[in-house]
A = this chain, B = another copy of it.
Amino acid sequence: MLPDIEICRQTELLSINQVAKEFGLLEDEFQSLGKHKAKVSLASLKRTQGNKTGKLIFVTAITPTPLGEGKTVTTIGLSQGLKKIGLNAAACIRQPSMGPVFGVKGGAAGGGFSQVAPMEELNLHLTGDIHSVTAAHNLASAAIDARIYHEQRQGYDAFEQRTGLKALKIDPKNVVWKRVIDHNDRALRMITVGKNEHNKTINGFEREDGFDISAASELMAILALAEDLQDLRKRIGRIVVAYNLEGEPVTAEELDVAGAMTVSMKDAIEPTLMQTLEGVPTLIHAGPFANIAHGNSSIIADRVATHLADYTVTEGGFGSDMGFEKACNIKAQASKQAPDCAVIVATLRGLKANSGLYDLKPGQPIPESMFDADQKALEAGFENLKWHINNVSKYGVPAVVAINRFPQDSQQELDTLKAMIEALPMDVEVAISEAFGKGGDGAVELANKVVAQCDKESNFTPLYSVEDSLESKLSTIAEVGYGGSIVMSYKAQQQLTALKKHGFDNMAVCFAKTPMSITTDGSVKGAPKGFDVPIRELKLCAGAGFIYALSGSVMTMPGLPDKPAFMNLDIDEDGNIVGLS
């Protein structure tokens, strides 16, 4: 098969105007940006709010290998399969982060004949949303350090007199708003800012800081959860950026920066419209990294799509313990729109990886031997799939397992796996998906099964209610969501007390943990039970509406491997991009 970028280039795409019109958007409801991208105005939501709401299909997965199991391929392929069987379908995915594009993982446009196109536009700057989030985020950072500098240098009283502003008295040791950048840059995880020579203060006041990857910004979660521009503005105002010397929260509103941050994100709140290789309208909105962030596409994009299409396919990062958990407990509770069906992507390779019999490391190639038949490994890894099927059923969402076929897979082993799933005493359907190699044609069986499951009554139940206490919500995710139990660090316990004191008991909870295991230890494979879920730190995201629990050794800034993907990237003699996958 050709490389993804070649398949994409050889496909004749529709003009984005045609895609938008076929999707059902009116001429003044979108702005085309070049031939193949458009920004969708939120005005379309107002017009279509009376329309029937289409079905929302959520694509999740087993616990993945470091290279992923093809969730985006399946999402795009399924939307194309739905179109093939004559249905009105759309897809909603997240904007890829350039960190992984230049790092290990490469692009996130799907692959083979199930891609969002043009893939080089999707995988690079797209329409600048992540840059807008980054700019808004770091504006607040600059504002914090400038405020500390001016208040301390002038003295609080003099500052108040000179500026007419209230001195915020921010504690430089208690600034909780880190900076962000859309790169895998481990050297920025822990930094000292505001350094000076010769005892001067011209560069501000020295303090410890660090950068997260932009997708982990609270602003990205806010973008995904906001109802509209005014809601975005209000949420940004509620962000707690620091605590003052008396330990009281200081918000972006008090820093007088929330308006400017919103202005910076004014275009970002509009989803970007693109198309799949088979012309299915696809909305791109919000950011990835469901391990360390919210990691779901936006409520706005889902609403636009489900009010125009009968079937909208979306996805959340990693296994059902990660993106799907957050989609149900955070996003669906906020949007009041539950998934009508879940698709669990499994691969032979991924199940064998979950057997614990192979040693797979991020950044290293997956051994070809994993494609050989290995009944023992398959059976051991199958426990992981069962765990995810059971996990999805906890939320009352009907499910279909999509076995994402790799070209190297043997038909016999695929049939074995399918039979194993069919034999399960669970209400779950199964289909082999050949979306990568055959596009929508390879996903017709999957599409039919999904449509049948969507017709079933969904009894959606999130695991907790936001009214529950914070401890209860954290415990519920650990116990019911993962099968372990929380162990809070001293720091986290102190933070919990402070959060309750400041009235943030009614926030949802968002776990940051490794996606490579159901536990918080990436080396533990399969379907473990009764493990510890250590919480080392709690972070308040008052604007997004959740408490962010850092669990295990997960880091909110990835690093580059020793031979990063960027080394393959270049332009050729004709100015075309080469080496992007």
Binding site for B on A (CB under 8 A): 31-35, 39, 98, 102, 124-125, 128, 131-132, 135, 138-139, 141-143, 145-146, 149-150, 154, 159, 162-165, 181-197, 202-205, 208-209, 229-230, 233, 256-257, 259-260, 262-264, 266-267, 559-564, 566-567, 569-571, 573, 575, 577, 579-580
CB–CB B257/A145 < 8 A: no
CB–CB A142/B560 < 8 A: yes
B residues less than 8 Å from A188 (CB atoms): 193
CB–CB A184/B142 < 8 A: yes
CB–CB A124/B263 < 8 A: yes
In the complex the two chains form, what is the Cα distance from A376 to B183 in whole Å? 56
CB–CB A146/B190 < 8 A: no
CB–CB B35/A31 < 8 A: yes
Copies of this chain, complex-wide, total: 2
Q: Is the interface of A mostly helix, strand, loop or mixed?
A: mixed
CB–CB A566/B187 < 8 A: no
Indicate whether A149 sits within 8 Å of B202 (C-beta atoms), given known contacts A31-B34, A34-B31, A577-B266.
no
In the complex the two chains form, what is the Cα distance from A398 to B396 in whole Å? 79
CB–CB A149/B187 < 8 A: yes
B residues less than 8 Å from A209 (CB atoms): 187
Select which of B34, B196, B197 is within 8 A of A32 by beta carbon.
Answer: B34
B residues less than 8 Å from A229 (CB atoms): 571, 575
A555 to B: closest C-beta gap in Å: 8
Question: Which of A34, A145, A146, A264 has the largest count of B CB atoms less than 10 A from its CB?
Answer: A146
CB–CB A569/B142 < 8 A: no
In the complex the two chains form, what is the Cα distance from A570 to B266 in whole Å? 10
B residues less than 8 Å from A192 (CB atoms): 191-192, 195
A32 to B: closest C-beta gap in Å: 7
CB–CB B138/A181 < 8 A: yes
B residues less than 8 Å from A230 (CB atoms): 571, 573, 575
In the complex the two chains form, what is the Cα distance from A523 to B477 in whole Å? 62
Indicate whether A98 sits within 8 Å of B564 (C-beta atoms), given known contacts A142-B185, A263-B570.
no
Select which of B187, B202, B264, B566 is within 8 A of A194 by beta carbon.
Answer: B187
B residues less than 8 Å from A162 (CB atoms): 562
CB nearest neighbor in B for A141: B185
In the complex the two chains form, what is the Cα distance from A367 to B98 in whole Å? 47
CB-defined A-B contacts under 8 Å, sample of 22: A124-B264, A125-B128, A125-B132, A125-B264, A128-B128, A142-B187, A143-B560, A145-B185, A146-B564, A163-B563, A165-B562, A187-B194, A187-B204, A190-B195, A191-B194, A191-B195, A195-B208, A233-B570, A256-B567, A259-B569, A260-B569, A263-B580
In the complex the two chains form, what is the Cα distance from A230 to B256 in whole Å? 45
CB–CB B187/A562 < 8 A: no
B residues less than 8 Å from A569 (CB atoms): 259-260, 263
Select which of B33, B125, B146 is within 8 A of A186 by beta carbon.
Answer: B146
In the complex the two chains form, what is the Cα distance from A133 to B259 in whole Å? 26
CB nearest neighbor in B for A196: B190
Select which of B31, B262, B570 is within 8 A of A260 by beta carbon.
Answer: B570
Indicate whether A566 sits within 8 Å of B159 (C-beta atoms), given known contacts A102-B260, A193-B187, A204-B187.
no
CB–CB A566/B183 < 8 A: no
- Lowest 8 CB-CB distances: which A-B pairs, in order? A259-B570, A145-B187, A260-B566, A146-B560, A150-B562, A190-B195, A131-B131, A142-B185
In the complex the two chains form, what is the Cα distance from A135 to B180 in whole Å? 12
CB–CB B267/A125 < 8 A: yes
B residues less than 8 Å from A571 (CB atoms): 229-230, 233, 259, 262-263, 266
Select which of B35, B189, B570 is within 8 A of A262 by beta carbon.
Answer: B570
CB–CB B563/A165 < 8 A: yes
Indicate whether A567 sits within 8 Å of B263 (C-beta atoms), given known contacts A125-B131, A186-B149, A560-B142.
no
A139 to B: closest C-beta gap in Å: 6
CB–CB A39/B31 < 8 A: no
Select which of B143, B203, B566 is within 8 A of A143 by beta carbon.
Answer: B566
CB–CB B570/A183 < 8 A: no
In the complex the two chains form, what is the Cα distance from A163 to B562 in whole Å? 7
In the complex the two chains form, what is the Cα distance from A6 to B573 in whole Å? 46
A292 to B: closest C-beta gap in Å: 16
A518 to B: closest C-beta gap in Å: 24
A156 to B: closest C-beta gap in Å: 12
A540 to B: closest C-beta gap in Å: 22
B residues less than 8 Å from A266 (CB atoms): 124, 571, 575, 577
Question: Which of A184, A192, A566, A569 has the largest count of B CB atoms less than 10 A from its CB?
Answer: A566
CB nearest neighbor in B for A233: B571
B residues less than 8 Å from A233 (CB atoms): 570-571
A20 to B: closest C-beta gap in Å: 13
A268 to B: closest C-beta gap in Å: 9
A286 to B: closest C-beta gap in Å: 17
In the complex the two chains form, what is the Cα distance from A125 to B192 in whole Å? 28
CB nearest neighbor in B for A127: B128
In the complex the two chains form, what is the Cα distance from A194 to B559 in whole Å? 11
In the complex the two chains form, what is the Cα distance from A55 to B237 in whole Å? 50
B residues less than 8 Å from A190 (CB atoms): 194-197, 203
11 further interface pairs, Cβ-Cβ under 8 Å (given A31-B35, A98-B139, A141-B185): A31-B34, A125-B267, A145-B187, A165-B562, A165-B563, A187-B194, A190-B195, A190-B196, A230-B571, A230-B573, A266-B575
Indicate whether A142 sits within 8 Å of B262 (C-beta atoms), given known contacts A131-B131, A575-B230.
no
